[in-house]
Amino acid sequence: MARNCLCYCVDGYFPNTLKNRKDFCFFKNIKDSKINRLEKMLSNTHLEQDDIDNIKRSIKSILRYRITGIRDVERQYIVNDLISRNYKLIRSDFFRKFRGYLIVKNGRMIFKKDWVYYFEINFYRFFAFQYLIMALLMVSLFNS
């Protein structure tokens, strides 16, 4: 089942709207090519039930990767379980930002805070502090 190509370009606003649509559709088709191929294989009536189940798992794995940003299937199942149990508290894209810090030990997911995590946090703090200093300087310059 082929997916239709959605275009966000509005005629009249962009001079090369048709070209933009073709580019957008081209990249969307590349992105969806594996899912389209798996769905085409799934529509084959000569497959055994085990093959059908494996294809469905592969499609779910691709979709979970797009949602969470995690490639590892074991972590995907743990994250999916957390999201399905706590869907009111956790957004599905929450794990995308912290996927580099999540490790799995004994079937449990652990958030590992090492020096890279603290470096990133302090880096963001520095930028926020720098932004505040620049804002204060601009206010003081314009008020004087």
What are the tens digits of pLDDT across the range 78-130?
A: 888 888 888 888 887 788 877 788 888 887 888 888 888 899 889 999 999 99
In the prediction, which pLDDT does 15 show? 55
- Residue 135 — pLDDT band, cuts 50, 70, 90? very high
- Tens digits of per-residue pLDDT, 25-78? 777 777 788 888 888 888 877 888 898 899 898 888 888 888 888 888 888 888
In the prediction, which pLDDT does 17 show? 58
In the prediction, which pLDDT does 117 show? 86
Helix (H, G, I), strand (E, B) or coil at 109: strand
- Residue 14 — pLDDT band, cuts 50, 70, 90? low
Q: Are 61 and 49 in contact (CB under 8 A)?
A: no
Extract long-range pairs of 88-97: CB within 8 Å, 24+ residues apart: 92/67, 92/68, 93/67, 93/68, 93/69, 95/68, 95/69, 95/70, 96/68, 96/69, 96/70
Closest C-alpha to 24, from 44, 4, 39, 2: 4
Task: Domain ranges for the chain, please list them.
Answer: 29-112, 113-143
